[in-house]
């Protein structure tokens, strides 16, 4: 008896769309978050060059 025979799972199409929505929200949110961090770091160093 394998471990896979112990799992009885059902994933309907709505579950698949939920997974895609969560992944898309994660990657879009992370891209905006990191874009703002990189912009802040860039501005931090550009202000030091002007002085």
3-state secondary structure of 20: helix
What does the alpha-carbon distance between residue 1 and residue 17 come to, in Å, rounded to a whole number? 33
Mean pLDDT by 10 residues, the chain (51 residues): 61 82 95 92 75 46
User: Which sequence spans correspond to the domains of the chain?
Assistant: 3-47
- pLDDT at position 21, please? 93
Helices and strands (DSSP H and E) totals, the chain: 1, 0
- pLDDT at position 49, please? 57
3-state secondary structure of 51: coil
């Amino acid at each position: 008896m394998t471990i896979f025979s112990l799992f009885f799972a059902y994933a309907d199409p709505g579950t698949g769309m939920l997974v895609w929505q969560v992944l898309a929200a994660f990657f879009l949110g992370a891209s905006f978050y990191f874009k703002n961090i990189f912009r802040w770091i860039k501005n931090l160093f550009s202000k030091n060059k002007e002085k």
